[in-house]
Structure 1
Amino acid sequence: MDFDFSLLQELTETSGVPGYEDRIRDIVRRELEASTDHVTSDAMGNVVGTIEGESDYTVAIAAHMDEIGFMVRHITDEGFLQLDPLGGFDARVLRAQRVNVHTEDGDLPGVIGSVPPHTLSEEQREKKDKVEDVHVDLGLSGDDVRERVSRGDIVTMDQTTVELGDHVTGKALDDRICVFTMLEAARRIENPDVTIQFAATVQEEVGIRGATALGGDLDPDLAVALDVTVANDVPGFDEADHVTELGDGTAIKLKDSSVITNPKVHRRLRSVAEDEEIPYQLEILPAGGTDTAGFQNTHGAKPVGAISIPTRYLHTVTESAHVDDVSATIDLLTAFLETETGEHDYTL
């Protein structure tokens, strides 16, 4: 692969749920300080690295730092933890997973319990899984757990990021793989015609909160958001429901449930991809929102576009993306920014 896989591993394996992005924010700040002119952050924790251009025309590039996770809502007398979700985890994939509980005194390893299927009653077998019903087992007594864990402590999934054939797979590719893409583009760009604001946002998974606030604060002339998108190109789905397919290139978003991208912006993205011979596909996402919506109208009407990385098994610990699609996304974002002069008319 023609990108820094070790940085991608660091970004995806580091914990950071909505509102508690501290650890991932430190990494992003470190990388942006090395590749941009100056770095700022706000009261919510959004981080912005700015490369000053030849003009005052500003382009905001956004990718969210937060991953889905949990908060401890209750500790039983026996020392089991019950959870409140931070983002949209599918409870079906939580059983028998390893987790980390982030306490004030350090991290504790735990497992989400799953009892043997042959011991379940018929009623238990038919019961629909809910996040509120799972429990975390820390292997400690109730007294020890209550001494070390507090209500409100954060819980994240424990997983490594690895190469899998032509894919990379792990947790939190949503959306750290796009944070990585943004950082790679920031490394490559020199002396742009326009001022570029590389924004790592917070709390996207709980309602696009960070980008909405940042859109008002930055007030850019143009915004392009980066996120993963659905790739249901696996057994059990009709071709029309794939949304995107791994290995077919970066995805240029036309719509999702939160935004319809500006036609002039997505047409220019397509034109740049074709001029640079960068493989791409068009994304029409029937459900799910992204930071794109956060910038579209929070400080007046703004032209917005979005580039997505096709990803299988979203919101699990085995999210998977094709290395060629990652490279294509970096290439398209970089080429788009290097050719942005501030003179394109995106009004409709």
Structure 2
Amino acid sequence: MGDSDLEFDFELLRELTETDGVPGYEEDVRAAVRRELTAATDEVRTDAMGNVVGTVEGGDYEVVVAAHMDEIGFMVRHVTDEGFLRLDALGGWDPRILRAQRVRIHTREESLTGVIGSVPPHTLTDEQKEKEQQVSDVHVDLGLPSETVEERVDVGDLVTMQQTTVRMGDLVTGKALDDRVCLFAMLEAAHRLDDPAVTVHFVATVQEEVGLRGAQAVGVDLDPDLALALDVTVANDVPGFDAADHVTELGEGVAVKLKDSSVITTPKVNRRLRDVADSEGISHQLEVLPAGGTDTANLQRAGGAVPVGALSVPTRYLHTPTECAHVTDVAAMVDLLSAFVESETGEHDYSL
């Protein structure tokens, strides 16, 4: 484990993060999730949207724990006469980080490697230097003749970042830690759970990155008594930010979300999460996120009012191919989620 003595199934985390699955096309991730939940829960099912639900039977009180499967990516919107690809974004990309990245194009028959083109600094014009970049400006070079590209690539084919997941000191870095690192934590907690007092639905949701869509269906279909969502959050503990502006910091534990721009979590759920963390000696920090949202919002209100909580893994460089999370924070999420669910009796008062 390097600098850490934690038990940590890095191979499962690597499988989840290196597997490709953009919004609406999560099938390869779904296969891994179904395998893990089949071994950990009493029943596994997939709904019409592609959400996977693994249920551990307990009492009548029902708890949903959710983490999303999808990662941000692209769809091919045009193939030029010269054989280059133009892209449409699936999720929120910062166009500044796209240049010179290696990507994978998923066609019906195969996966192709490509690169997003970048103009060398030697030939940049002043206009190009000053222009605000857009996803629509980038092109993918496949290194193939235009006739071959036209034969092998269609509009609508999917594009993901070609990236590996590696250990870097006490951190894990790679693509799609948003939200596969929390998906990993949920699966680990599911494997730990034994004979709960309440019924627990472990849900791997779809299409979070394009509007929390899978969670909305889950909120209606399962109609839980309590819901917890797991996602990453901003860790801006890097040069250029004052300590007062840090949303979270790496290595300080799992974050208990108080609010983001889509939700204010239920105060009594927050309080119990913090109390459980204190009693179990689990490192944690509080999260106030100025912008952004997670599945928590739709779980709170899609099927009527539901008390909600949210746990987050602090992550640097979100929505890039080099997202970074600290292994102790991931372990803390597993520990707190497990302890919270195991101690849920259905008799706690979460009313306002």
| 2:39 pairs with 1:44 | no
| 2:93 pairs with 1:59 | no
Per-residue deviation, residues 101-125 of structure 1 (Å, max 9, x unmatched)? 0000010111101121110111111
In the TM superposition, what is the alpha-carbon distance from 1:66 to its structure 2 partner? 0.3
- Corresponding residue for 1:141? 145
| 2:44 pairs with 1:33 | no
Q: Distance in 2 between matches of 1:302 and 1:111?
A: 45
Q: Distance in 1 between matches of 2:16 and 2:225?
A: 29
- Corresponding residue for 1:240? 244
| 2:226 pairs with 1:222 | yes
Gaps of 5+ in 1: none
Provide the aligned length of Structure 1 versus Structure 2: 347
| 2:28 pairs with 1:23 | yes
Per-residue deviation, residues 125-158 of structure 1 (Å, max 9, x unmatched)? 1111111000000000111001000000000001
1:211 corresponds, among 190, 211, 215, to 215
AA of the residue aligned to 2:39: A
Gaps of 5+ in 2: 1-5
Q: Distance in 1 between matches of 2:138 and 2:150?
A: 18
Look up the SS of the partner of 1:327 in the other structure.
Answer: helix
- Corresponding residue for 2:15? 10
Identity of aligned residues (%): 71
Q: Distance in 2 between matches of 1:183 and 1:15?
A: 18
Q: Distance in 1 between matches of 2:334 and 2:128?
A: 47
| 2:316 pairs with 1:316 | no
TM-score by length of 2: 0.98
Q: Distance in 2 between matches of 1:23 and 1:241?
A: 38
Correspondence list, 1:64-213, <5 A? 64-213=68-217
- Corresponding residue for 2:3? none
Aligned-pair RMSD on alpha carbons? 0.5
Q: Distance in 1 between matches of 2:206 and 2:8?
A: 25
Per-residue deviation, residues 214-269 of structure 1 (Å, max 9, x unmatched)? 10000000000000000000000111211000001100000000000000000000
Q: Distance in 2 between matches of 1:139 and 1:56?
A: 58
Per-residue deviation, residues 201-223 of structure 1 (Å, max 9, x unmatched)? 00000010000111000000000
AA of the residue aligned to 2:50: G
Q: Distance in 1 between matches of 2:216 and 2:86?
A: 31
In the TM superposition, what is the alpha-carbon distance from 1:7 to its structure 2 partner? 0.1
